[in-house]
Structure 1
Amino acid sequence: MKRILFLAQVPPPVHGASIANKILISSDLIAEHFESRHIDIGAAGKIEDIGKFSVAKLPGVARTLVSIVRNLFVFRPHIVYLSLAPSGFAFYRDVVFVQIIRLFGPELVFHLHGKGLRRSGENSRLFRRLSKSIFKNCHVIFLSEGLRSDAAGLSYKSSFVVNYGFPEGPVAPRVASDGQKKIEILYLSNYVRTKGVIDLVDALELVSRTHNHFGVTLAGKPFDISLEFLENYVREKGLADRVRVCGPKYDGDKVELLEKADIFVLPTYYENEAFPLSILEAMKFGLPVISTYEGGIPDMIAEGVDGRLFPSRDITALARQIEYLLDHPEERRSLGEAARRKFLERFTVSTFERNMLQVFQHICPQEP
């Protein structure tokens, strides 16, 4: 049986890449075809520490490097899978890992869970030279077709597109609105300024001038915006009677929010936005999604088919999209149903596992 060594961060902290890596590493399907080992290369205990240099991280990096060398000698993998950091301190750490791995000759697979290669290369000649060097003769996995451009100018042996998958799980059937209840709008992401939560509040102020039959829940973990700041901002905008700031929600509480919601909004302009799992979760629950053209989102949501897209930072355009779905209940229903169908067809964990297995088997065919 061929062997894979996974070099990838897993929760904590919890984010799209770490969740996807955990699914992959614990996959029974892949275990049927490949013997594998895993080394957790994550050095950040919190999301806000990801990509940042800290002297406190160096001992952990050294221990990881020793573990990698030991496994290369003893386990002798045919494939080394690296969840490559596209920017920041972690990229330079990964460059060191790659140089060591290449001494042993396995097939090297980079899984790009975010974007930032092109921007970092534009800002640093050293970054450009190193990225061109490490991508030679490797295989690359992108999260969507639209994210291929982030590696423009880099040459590699082969490339693949594999969308994330989210656990299927049971979902209660959506109940058609009787026209009397308030339409519920949901934001479910961290309280990060570039995720657009402030833009959403600004847009809701515009919407409230002509519409009053809606309620909003802003759920998320404070990051660079505190719970108190967001609550005060909502009050300043005169929206305290219809916008609820509830902080992070998990497990059953999060499911309850998704089941009660009628519209999901993620107005992100996060510079490393790639393939937000929060959108997949909303699609799983049959919600029409309003979001931006950032990263791989246009490959997740087709404008006017299973959601609505608008240019990031355009508050007026965001307000118009919200107003349109408030005014068109049949459109809300049809977009949500289409989003649910697409989720089941393309974005489940089982589909993700099958696609990743096909990638590994293509790179390293099994012996007959």
Structure 2
Amino acid sequence: MERVYVIGHRPPPVTGENLCLRQLEVTLRDLGREVMSRSRSDVRNLLLWRSSIWLAAGGKKIGHLRDVLWLVWWRLCGCQVNIYIHNISWRNFKKHAWFWRFLGKGNFRFVVLTDEISGALESAGLPAIRLNNTLADGSEPDAAESRAPVRRLLWMSAVTVEKGFPIAYSVFLKLRAQHHDWRLDVYGAGPLSMDSARFPDVHFHGFTQDAEKQAALDAGGIFILPSSYVNETQPLSIIEALANGIPFVASTIGGIKVMRGGSAAMPAGVCIESAAPVEQWVSAVESVYANYASYSQAAKEVYRQDFSRAAYRTGVSRLMSKSAN
């Protein structure tokens, strides 16, 4: 049985990087690999001779002397290293492209979430392969039928200015002025949720997981994320919405705009510049609501084609096959 080492930072909180690594490990085991989890400081990494390695480079850049020494050692050991990038840290790799070209020689490649990142790395002469995210926990929902429209904005992210919560709140107020039954349900934590008095009529539910999160998704609505967060790439929260047939209205930052789907007949949502006037956001939400059944069906189709666990498994399997060749 082939042994694969998954190496990365594993802090106690639930983070996007940890969720991605967890699903990667589950998928590798399903594909018949023996998976060994290691931290980047683990001295047992010296034993990795001609091994397949997935090195997480999401939360922190790789640039510490220890990391460089590991990479040089793995190069000498003939290891195939997949550098798994979850966010904007790819800029650090492009900045030092000469080092990676020198180190690579076929042994190193970057696994990234968006075409933008892969294109930027490849323009610097660094090999990059796309691998979409997928659901990290729980079972895949049974979304056989389209959802009915509900006047509900759904927020499932950090409650911060960077993520665009004040914009979402302004959109909610304008929608509610037209139809009093609009509501904004917020599932997440952050500085702004600690000051809930500033946002009357918003339903703050705090951080949720598992059955509670699924119940929130089952209630339907329109997912909203006017993010201007510079590290935004492919939010797991949008993938969760798509899996449940919930369309989204979000900013164009990072890889979000591609998450509408390229091969589907209809997009799974609407993307707008985060700095656009609030009225434009309101108009987008109203458009999605007016055509909700079609958007909901598109959301499920985009999930099935691009972000389902089956699609993810196929992508990982293809990568591992290339490693073996």
TM-score with structure 2 setting the length:
0.85
Shift of 1:131: 5.6
CA contact (8 A) 2:242 2:303 kept: yes
Rounded to whole Å, the distance in 1 between the matches of 2:59 and 2:221 is 35
Partner of residue 67 from structure 1, selected from 44, 49, 57 = 44
The secondary structure found in structure 1 opposite 2:129 is: strand
Matches within 5 A, 1:212-223: 212-222=180-190
CA contact (8 A) 1:2 1:77 kept: no
Q: Give the corresponding residue for 1:283.
A: 242
Structure 2 unpaired stretches of 5+? none
Q: Residues 1-46 of structure 1, C-alpha deviation per residue, up to 9 Å, x if partnerless? A: 44322213456332222112112223365552x44422133xxxxx
The secondary structure found in structure 2 opposite 1:26 is: helix
Partner of residue 294 from structure 1, selected from 239, 244, 253 = 253
Q: Give the corresponding residue for 2:88.
A: 115
The answer to whether 1:188 aligns with 2:151 is: no
Q: Give the corresponding residue for 2:125.
A: 155
Rounded to whole Å, the distance in 2 between the matches of 1:107 and 1:12 is 28
CA contact (8 A) 2:97 2:125 kept: no
Rounded to whole Å, the distance in 2 between the matches of 1:345 and 1:155 is 29
Shift of 1:200: 1.1
Structure 1 residues 20 and 85 mapped into 2: Cα distance closer, same or farther (>3 Å)? Answer: closer
Report the RMSD for the aligned CA atoms in angstroms: 2.8
Rounded to whole Å, the distance in 2 between the matches of 1:28 and 1:85 is 19
Shift of 1:356: 0.6
Shift of 1:102: 2.0
Shift of 1:314: 2.1
Q: Give the corresponding residue for 2:307.
A: 347
Partner of residue 193 from structure 2, selected from 207, 227, 231 = 227
CA contact (8 A) 2:146 2:297 kept: no
Structure 1 residues 204 and 343 mapped into 2: Cα distance closer, same or farther (>3 Å)? Answer: same
CA contact (8 A) 2:260 2:302 kept: no
Q: Give the corresponding residue for 1:247.
A: 206
Letter in 2 for 1:245: F
Q: Give the corresponding residue for 1:318.
A: 281
Rounded to whole Å, the distance in 1 between the matches of 2:13 and 2:103 is 27
Q: Give the corresponding residue for 1:170.
A: 141
Letter in 1 for 2:131: V
Q: Residues 210-253 of structure 1, C-alpha deviation per residue, up to 9 Å, x if partnerless? A: 3433111111022xx14232x1221xxxxx23x21221122221
CA contact (8 A) 1:283 1:339 kept: yes
CA contact (8 A) 2:147 2:296 kept: no
Q: Residues 39-80 of structure 1, C-alpha deviation per residue, up to 9 Å, x if partnerless? A: 133xxxxxxxxxxxxxxxxxxx3xx2x1211x32xxx24322
Letter in 1 for 2:319: V
Letter in 2 for 1:165: T
Letter in 1 for 2:270: R
Letter in 1 for 2:197: N
CA contact (8 A) 2:153 2:221 kept: yes
How many residues get paired?
316
Letter in 2 for 1:233: R
The answer to whether 1:100 aligns with 2:81 is: no
Q: Give the corresponding residue for 1:56.
A: none
Structure 1 residues 154 and 4 mapped into 2: Cα distance closer, same or farther (>3 Å)? Answer: farther
Q: Give the corresponding residue for 2:14.
A: 14
Shift of 1:339: 0.6
Runs of 4+ in 1 over 6 A off after TM superposition: none
CA contact (8 A) 1:165 1:350 kept: no
Q: Residues 173-214 of structure 1, C-alpha deviation per residue, up to 9 Å, x if partnerless? A: 56535xxxx611100112232111122113323334434331
Q: Which moved more, 1:186-195 or 1:281-290?
A: 186-195
Q: Give the corresponding residue for 1:237.
A: none
Rounded to whole Å, the distance in 1 between the matches of 2:134 and 2:59 is 21
- Rg bigger for which structure? 1
The secondary structure found in structure 1 opposite 2:303 is: helix
